[in-house]
Amino acid sequence: MSLFNPSIATMWHWGEGEFAEKTQIVQMDLTSDQMAEVERLTSVISIPLSTDSPEPGVSFQNLGEHDFEGIPAKGTRIITIHAVPGSSSSTQTIHEVWFSSEMRLVLRVVDGDPAGKETVSGLAHISLTPDASLFEPPPNRIARHWKESSQYAAPDLEALTLWAVK
């Protein structure tokens, strides 16, 4: 298991399961450069809200803003028109994306097919102020800093700290 707490620039890793060490946690403190990279990688995604169509048969609709469990999100619907082979008729699919700039997450996606079936996926039980204990390692384990207490794993953990935020 891995846990990242950006407010204190720390990552923890511990094992679960039959062969895992049950008493220790490895702690990795991230540098300011690594935190800057985390910020860059999690910066706000650009969701197209324009009604200008990038190609024929595709149109965009700005759905405005909607609250999901108190979290504001902006929505975009993409409608794609598909020609039916051997027929003069066409069908359409829809793809809606609801994105929260504040959380930097897609909260809901709605896909509709030509038969009228909709598939809705997204997050539930979301909060802008989650319980702080969600970002702490299990209390029954001893935290050991990776540089001080892992002579055999040090090269692997060094690689992990470099890889984790590239």
CA–CA distance, 62 with 78 (Å, rounded to integer): 9
The per-residue pLDDT for 54 is 66
Query: What are the helix (H) ranges across the chain?
Result: 32-41, 146-149, 154-163
What are the pLDDT digits (tens) for 87-143? 888 889 999 999 988 887 889 999 998 788 999 999 888 888 888 787 777 777 777
Query: What are the helix (H) ranges across 56-141?
Result: none
- Asked if residue 152 has pLDDT above 60, the reply is no
Tell me what percent of the residues of the chain surpass a pLDDT of 90. Answer: 23
The per-residue pLDDT for 155 is 63
Strands 58-68 and 2-5: unpaired
Strand residue runs (E) in 40-146: 58-68, 71-83, 90-100, 105-112, 118-122, 142-145
The per-residue pLDDT for 166 is 47
Residue 107: both structure tokens together: 């909260």
- Asked if residue 29 has pLDDT above 80, the reply is yes
- φ, ψ at 91 (rounded to 5°): -125, 170
For the chain, give the number of residues: 166
What are the pLDDT digits (tens) for 48-98? 555 565 677 888 899 999 999 999 999 999 999 888 888 888 889 999 999
Between 41 and 25, the higher pLDDT residue? 25
CA–CA distance, 4 with 12 (Å, rounded to integer): 7
The per-residue pLDDT for 95 is 92
- Which pTM was predicted? 0.58
- Report residue 164's pLDDT band, with 50, 70 and 90 as the boundaries: low
Handedness of CA 94, 101, 65, 62 (dihedral sign): negative
- Asked if residue 45 has pLDDT above 50, the reply is yes
- Region label for 125, one of left (φ > 0), alpha (ψ between -120 and 50) or beta (otherwise): left
Most confident of the ranges 7-11, 23-27, 111-115, 133-137: 111-115
